Structure 1
Amino acid sequence: MDYISLRFGVPACRLCSPHSRPEMRIDTNENGGEGLFNKKGFLFLRTKVMQNWKCRWFSLDGINLRCFQNDRTTQALDVIPLFNPNTNKYATIIFIKKDRKDRKNMFALAVDGVGQHIFSASTPTERENWINSISAVLAQHQKTNDLPPTPVKLSPALLSPKPNRSKHSDYALLDDDGQSNHQESNSKLMAGYNDKISQILNQDKSDLQEKQKKKKEREQMEEEKRNDDVDRYVQMEKKKMEEEKREEERKRQEEERRREEEEKKRQEEERRREEEEKKRQEEERKRQEEKRRIEEEKKQEEERKIQEEKRRMRRIVRIQSLWRARIVRKHFPRLITVYKRRQKIAQELMSTEQSYLSSLQTLSQLYIAPLLVNNIIDGDTCRIAFSNANYLVFLHKEISKKIEERVNSWYPQQKFGDIFVEALPDLKNFYSQYVVNYNKSIATVKNLISTNPAFQTFVEDCMKDPRGNDLHLTDYLIMPVQRLPRYEMLLADLLRNTPQTAEDKTLLESALSGLREVNAFVNNHTREVQSMERVLHVQNKLSGAKKNSNLYQPGRELIREGLLIMIGKAGESERTVFLFNDSVMVSKKTSTNKNVTLKYDFKANIPLKGATVVMDYVPNKLDFVKSPSLTDTTKAKGSPKLGNGESHVIALITADGSKYVFRASNANDKKGWYNAMDSAIKALPKEAASASVPRFSLSSSRDGL
């Protein structure tokens, strides 16, 4: 492997010096605004056991490099330390120049005590950004902790290359045979050779010293320059962190002042309630005194006749007063709990309404407006695809504003029912229109994605936009269908935690009753939407010539799907069978790779009108005279011979007498298929016996099954 070792982003040899590789210098502008010390992104990591490549999400966290399954998970799969505190050694960055056939833009981390980790970036620029970020983190850690860097070990072959000397060079002192004819001439020759060797050695030594001196000076200059760059970046980061800290402190102080003002308002409200309570008690005391005065006057008038009656009445009044006081003391904590629950539900209603309004605004601003401005689709298509989504934005702006005002001015008897009672006509009108148009909207969007390249590119770009939160267009379109059940649940909880004497009780009951009517309508259409999605899912699995055929028909539902062994006159073959409420579609699986989405090749369509299904059917060769022939005659593994009564065989006999024989894997599977087919045949309307069953718009030829 042809590689170059780096320490803190510093080249370890002349092959990667700043003069030969200027792009290796640290530059925060190349990191896409993510910051030099908190680099994040996807990299391919080569596993140590299987030696294959896995795409993982990596994040620089201090002096560690964390590895995640993807960018949405929070649990790290592995943590790669960039510094070993036991040995005071840093990780070595290895720049791999030579690309492999299956992987490019590679670099590695050699961690002391752990081993070597090999990575692959998507582009050369991304690889340089990662190397620069890791080098800056190591340099900052070294400077902060005042630790010496680990010396770089170079290969001796680079420091002292061996000269290519032949036997005829100036260093040869003897002839090939090693003999001398004249001793005196040999001595003179030897002396001359020794002088020449001394001169060469001295010259080499001086040249080597000069080169080492220049190299040392160059390394010192480069080290000073790198230290200055690192200091400048560290100062910039510190300054930025200080500014953020001052901003957070200012926001905290403002929040504290706001809380103090709210606390003052709450205390004033409590004092007002206490004064009202004292006033009420004073009036009650005066009333009791007036009552006693009247009783005393009556006592004087009636004298002794009613004396006992008065004493008895005073005892009754006293007992009633004590009983009322006891009831109040008993139920007061429960009322406090109810009011707290009511406030929590109101806050949840406000937060969910704000989140829902934000999603509607994203749909309007990110999708609808740009599509019309850029003329990607016309106005009529936009109205069909997005229905009245813009009207829902205006409606929920008003609802969200009112809910937020009520929650911000909260008190235990705060009303919410009147908001939904006023908005109930608009909710019924707008949401009924949206739900009725939802099937057509989803079909239009999918058709545009498959037929309009500009629309498909636009949707993909919107998914990459940070405002889209990685949600597809269909995810935004389903949100209004799911919102009304959420309203019903929250208002039901609010109604349960509202006292019977509260004014909001009646309003909440009216609003909840109206929402339930709308939800009943929405739920019926939601079931139709789910059935349509299952049929469209099967449509997308078809490949070959029947891929673009229209499988979805009004009223068609997918009841069951699975693998069955189909028995024909040429043998047995494994087939994927889809049972609908009006027909059976037989197909062949065209892909067995687990990493590839399954596709199916259409084989036949079997109508269920006038058909019958027979369980534990015993086939014979005469049954297959009219049955379709099989294209692949290879028998399925473990398939029994014809006539075996325990082979879990069921037969579907059509109105024209054709027999389609299937074998299930076990008794439970056979029973499930039999019950499903029998129920589908019985559930067909009576007029279906004379009317033609809607086809898939596919060829119903039984040849090639």
Structure 2
Amino acid sequence: MSSPVKQVPLAPGSDDEPRPTHPTTRAFFCGVVVEGAGEGELAQDVQELVASLGEPMSVQEAPYLPRSASAPTASGSLSALTDAPSSTSMSRSASADAAVLSEVITELVTTERSYLKRLFTLKSSYADPLRSFAKTKETSIIDAYAAKTLFGNVDQLIPASEGFLADLEVMLAGHGPGVGDVAIKHFRDLRAFDCYKQYYTKREEAQQIFEREVSKKSSTGFASYIDRIKYSTSDPKNRVGLRELLMEPVQRIPRYTLLFRTMIKHMPTSNPQRALLMEADAIASRIALAETDDPTRRAAVMHCLERSVENFPPGLISSTRVLVDCIDVADILIDSFGRGGGSTRGGHGTHGRGARSGGGGGSVDTLQATLFLFDDKLMICKRNPSSSAPGRILAGLDETEKVA
């Protein structure tokens, strides 16, 4: 039985007015399940229903979607309903995955656009003016250190986002590599997002500075300035305060990992883009944890030792030298003649003794020292006998994360 297509007006009184029609500019992937087709033939009304869904679209026409043998094609969309009923659920699942993947990729691009705009607002409306005002006492709203710490290295975050967005736009237009290629290029090859580690390390101190300055009530102070900038825009939707803008970079890297994992979930395992996204996700996760990489950690150790150890040998400074461990020791020096002179052990003098005790004709001197064991060297340092702190503390090695 034929089921003619009937147009139902949505508004009363408008059924006699012709409505302009426009072609759909967005593709939707649909999975259709028909029960009781019988003998492999579709009823006329079912055929009309399928035809009303629009022209079948091949996955090849969406270059940023994964190529999968299980995805339906334009030529096989109807035959999948009749010739291979057992694969219906598989085709439907592949179509749904492709649709979700397309939406997530689009979300990545659109949110990157808005994120970059907010970075520009943070820099141009807040960071640049406040850092410029802080250069002179007459114009400063907050001091130079507070201005520098509050905004961190926001100037480095903008180029990273600009380059990432440019490649994403090319990918979305279908003229470039896949989303996995773009992600791995910027997270692994260019290491463009490593600059976020530096921004993260100062966030706790920056938050303290923000709260301290906001609490100062003054008509010309920090709180008044940021409120004035916030409400200076004519668009209420773009009225974002400084507190929220400062948190945007903190939240952006975890947002990348969420989007990457959603894409991975809806990609077939055979898609080469999937492995690239998994690697990019692992790198982004480490950045989000603000973990210090090995070269930076080694440089921080060398900086602490050079700053803390008197006459530190410059030849020990190396970007590849690794500090294995350090241990405090006491070298006991014995002078059987009680002269308090030299020692017969290793040529150590008795100057700088940590302790001295003796009775009768002899004396015992103790030299307090710390051994720093590197992977290729051993450094022996004498500790100040007046200090009871261990060598690790005196050398500042417990603060290397702050230095890095």
Structure richer in strand, relative to its length: 1
Higher helix share: 1
Q: Which has the higher contact order (CA 8 A, sep 6+)?
A: 2
